[in-house]
Amino acid sequence: MHRLKYRKLVADGDSSLYANIMMKVSYGMEVEKIECKNHAVKNYGKALYKLQKDTKLNVEGRKLLTVSKIKELQNISKRIIYENVNKTVDILKTELENGPNHVFEDHFSCSENYCTTVGNITKSLIPTLESSGIFYHIKASLDRLIMMAGNLRANETNNKAEMFMSLLCKFNAGKRLNLTQRGSLETRAYIAALRYNLGICWEESVWENVTQRSAGEYFKKYLKNLKDNHDCHKKRRTGCKKKSKTNLKRSETDYGNSVPTATISNENYESEVSRILKRIQVSMEDIILIESKTGGQWDNPQYRSERRNRLTASVFGEVVKRRKTTPCHNLVKKILYETNFTSEAMLYIVELMKVLLCNYFGREEHLKILEHAAYL
């Protein structure tokens, strides 16, 4: 357009527009995708609201994740993105990862850019959140925002495009009411109340009350036909039960998992790899702490969280024996996003484990993790 090359695109999530640009525009490979800050943080908030309503999670933890706390988590993410404009990806990721700690009064690793009580942990709620297990779900929801850090450094939004589309809809909305004018909501409320109180022929009563005259012949004929059609439809509908049609949910072409995502740069890729490796490299003290907090295995949310971040013995064989030519996306989904953690054998072992724990409880010997051996 106008002989200009648009090298940057501000997108709103999983839009397929970027994929179309790469395929159809001659210089598409040079276009850089920038994530809209508002949409990214909004999706982060949606994931937190789902956690708040998930009854499978601990009640004590969900009580701490209030609506006000979710808004604070969103606001601190926006503030951190604003304060780290055009800085390195690693700094932005570190600051975003510390956002939940700041909101829940753990200011040990906070920055002076957005925190006035750096180092204060006297009112920290993190231990309570960790014991309830919901803290690890919050971190998992934050991971998607952190992975976008490379495309969020510019602190850009598509507010201008949204404003343009709202003005376009204002003048191109057909016979709809102009929602920007005063009194449109009250008008629709009055119409709904009149229709509910006076029935389908409410216009005739309003006409007579306002004009103090009887309505015209053609107007009455129109209302009579309208009432007859309504009565016939109601009569046909009475006494017969329609079968519910199963609507097949089609995948959207512009949003969702089927849409090709933007290619990640080498800098962002290396940064993400180092961040994940740094998370799983723990000291001996942390190993002892994880050992004590992951009791109960599948009943413990922290155990499931720690297991997803590591390659366990149950899937190690599938990874080692896999050929280089065999696609690995299904195996990765199975390791990271498996939801059904139980089977008949596992349920049987869980029942026996309860008996074993009852007999084993009280002894001085306990199971220990050996540093230089591949067994307990």
For residues 213 and 216, give the distance between their C-alpha atoms in angstroms, rounded to a whole number: 9
Q: What is the DSSP string of 275-334?
A: HHHHHH---HHHHHHHHHH-TTGGG-HHHHHHHHTS--HHHHHHHHH--TTS--HHHHHH
How far apart CA 79 and CA 116 sit, in angstroms, is: 14
pLDDT of residue 244: 62
* Cα radius of gyration (the chain): 30
pLDDT of residue 182: 75
What pLDDT is attached to residue 35? 87
SS3 content of the chain, % helix, strand, coil (to 5): 60, 0, 40
Predicted local distance difference test score (pLDDT) of residue 174: 47
For residues 173-192, b (16+ Cβ closer than 10 Å) or e, as one string? eeeeeeeeeeeeeeeeeeee
Helix (H) or strand (E) holding 35: strand 32-35
pLDDT digits (tens, 9 = 90+) for 213-224: 888 889 999 999
What pairing do the DSSP bridges indicate for beta strands 32-35 and 8-11?
parallel
**pLDDT the model gives residue 364:** 46
Which tokens sit at 182?
A: 């005063």
Q: What are phi and psi of 174, to 5 degrees?
A: 65, -130
Which residues of the chain fall below pLDDT 70? 1-2, 13-15, 167-180, 185, 238-264, 295-302, 304, 337-376
Q: Give the Cα separation of 41 and 113 in Å (integer).
A: 19
Do 141 and 69 touch, CB atoms closer than 8 A?
no
Query: Residue 118 gets which letter from DSSP?
Result: T
At 80-128, the pLDDT tens digits run 999 988 888 888 888 999 999 999 999 998 888 888 888 888 888 998 8
The full length of the chain comes to 376
Q: Which whole-number Å values give the CA distances from 284 to 25, 191, 335, 369, 371, in the listed order?
A: 53, 70, 25, 10, 9
pLDDT at 78: 92
Of 57, 56, 33, 37, the closest CA to residue 45 belongs to: 37
Candidates 96, 31, 60; CA nearest to 275 is 96
Residues near 295 by beta carbon (within 8 Å), at least 6 away in sequence: 303
205 burial type by CB count under 10 A (0-12 exposed, 13-18 middle, 19+ buried): middle
The single residue listed with the structure tokens 């510390």 is: 98
